[in-house]
Amino acid sequence: MSDNLSAPSYIRGIEPYKAGKPISELAREKGLKPENILKLASNENPLGAPESALQAVREAATAHNVALYPDGNAYNLKHAIAKRLGVPAEWIIVGNGSDELMGLTCEALLEPGSKSVYSQFYFSVYRIDTLACGGTPVEVPAKGFAIDLDAIAKAVTPEVRVVFLTTPNNPTGLTISQADFEAFLGKIPPSVTVVLDEAYREFVPEEDRIDSIALVKKYPNLFVTRTFSKAYGLAGLRVGFGVNSGELPELVNRIRPPFNCNTLAQAAAAGCVDDQAFLDRVYEMNRSGVKQLEDGFSSLNLEFVPTKSNFVLVHIGPKAAELNQALLDRGIIIRPCASFGLPEWIRVSVGTAEQNERFLAALKELLAKLFAA
């Protein structure tokens, strides 16, 4: 491929994000029927979208509405979120998924010579977004699998403008405690933005959740991001939001694309944001599924990281890549973790009881074959 285009070297050095393999792609590769493929790779909601969201989409999907540009300010959705969280609507930023908001934050704050900091075992978008702005990403070693908050605080030099933290973290499923996070915030200069990625918050037991919105009210440099892609089951519509009590919303709105959240996504999210009955159902199914998977891994004598999320990180060993290919041959998609720096591990999303059972049965059979060879 020609490289004659004039482009910054830091853009050419970016390794593109690797998403979980789509069902349609595996169907084409293996000649399988899409309905027979099991995807446990991208931490999506196996229950699908709630009826509250689907009804809102049906009402919004008129010929007239679809022909018009969406509300660029996402007024109804912002106010619905603000009411649920008990914050002013002006604190809310709506994005095409919460990952867009992370990129916009980097665009607003970073430039060549500046830095971001994040933990080992991280969502690769943090690094990509930093590099895309000419910034320097700083990866801080984890403490085992846990985020080392003390080490991250010490890594905040005058060049650092953004710190990324995730709870529960992906791919480990481990959480940060309220006390530890508050202590951490007290060590960070007010000029440094702390992005707290809570994409998986709804799967966390109540006692292990950070009261992040209360902390947003106290710390103007804290930016909490959440998504409708996971527990709410709207990954295909791409909608997320962030909350900040400082000047970040105003800065981001200077560079945010004018119609970044489409009409149907806004309607769906506004329609289901208060659907607590659905969220409760998702939570209970997920906790049951976590136990099913972790019990299955224990019975196979596999090491895993006990999770507070909707996925489990499990150690396979040197044949993890072979196992992944063997599962794909059977129409089962999981997430190999070499891209996280964990080549001997895989990440498995929690499915329904039947889906988990199918995966565990295939895993047991394939492990016996792989390790007998």
Predicted confidence at residue 113, as pLDDT, reads: 97
Exposure pattern of 125-138 as b/e (b: 16+ CB <10 Å)? bbbbbbbbbbbbbb
How much of the chain, in percent, has pLDDT values that exceed 70? 99
Per-residue pLDDT tens for 212-265? 999 999 999 999 999 999 999 999 999 999 999 999 999 999 999 999 999 999
Answer yes or no: do 259 and 312 share one domain. Answer: no
Q: Is residue 241 situated within a structural domain?
A: yes
- DSSP annotation of 168 reads S
Same domain, residue pair 165 and 132:
yes
Rounded distance between C-alpha atoms, residue 166 and residue 199, angstroms: 8
Q: Residues 226, 115, 308, 293: is their CA dihedral positive or negative?
A: positive
- So what's the pLDDT on residue 372? 78
Asked if 18 and 40 sit in the same domain, the reply is yes
* Token code pair at residue 38: 């099991």
pLDDT higher than 90, residue 1: no
Average pLDDT, the chain: 96
Question: Is 2 inside any structural domain?
Answer: no
Helix or strand run (H / E) with residue 75: helix 75-85
* φ, ψ dihedrals at 145, nearest 5°: -105, -5
Answer yes or no: is 100 within a domain.
Answer: yes
- Which domain covers residue 141, as residue numbers? 51-272
Amino acid found at 9: S
Q: Please report the sign of the dihedral spanned by the C-alpha atoms of residue 337, residue 21, residue 58, residue 354.
A: negative
Give residue-wise pLDDT tens across range 316-328: 999 999 999 999 9
Pairing outcome for strands 38-39 and 332-333: parallel
Within this chain, do residues 248 and 295 fall inside the same structural domain, yes or no? no
Give yes or no: residues 171 and 249 share one domain.
Answer: yes
Q: What is the pLDDT of residue 373?
A: 62
- Does residue 4 fall inside a structural domain? no
CA neighbor of 229 nearest in space, from 359, 99, 326 = 99
Q: What is the rounded CA–CA span in Å between residue 12 and residue 8?
A: 7
Residues 220 and 194 in one domain: yes
Question: And the tokens for 68?
Answer: 């018009």
Domain boundary among 208, 238, 272: 272
Domain count, the chain: 2
Query: What was the pLDDT predicted at 167?
Result: 98
Q: 371: pLDDT confidence band, cut at 50, 70 and 90?
A: confident
Query: Average pLDDT, stretch 44-67?
Result: 98
pLDDT for res 4: 82
Tell which of 241, 272, 303 closes a domain: 272
Rounded-to-integer distance, Cα 366 and Cα 176, Å: 35
Averaged pLDDT for residues 152-178: 98
Tokens of 3: 């490289």
Residue 311 near residue 173 (C-beta atoms within 8 A)? yes
pLDDT of residue 99: 95
- Pair 241, 109 in one domain: yes
Domain end point (choices 272, 291, 313): 272
**Are residues 232 and 323 both part of a single domain?**
no
Task: Answer for the pair 169, 306: CB distance below 8 angstroms, yes or no.
Answer: no
Span 105-146, pLDDT tens digits: 999 999 999 999 999 998 889 999 999 999 999 999 999 999
Q: Are 324 and 193 within one domain?
A: no
Cα 170–chain centre separation: 7
**pLDDT for the residue 60:** 98
- Verify that 69 and 153 share a domain, yes or no: yes
* Alpha-carbon span 286 to 323, nearest angstrom: 25
Q: What pLDDT is stored for residue 69 in this prediction?
A: 98
Shared domain check, 339 and 254? no
Region 346-356: what's the mean pLDDT?
Answer: 98
Same domain, 319 and 252: no
Domain holding 291: CATH number?
A: 3.90.1150.10
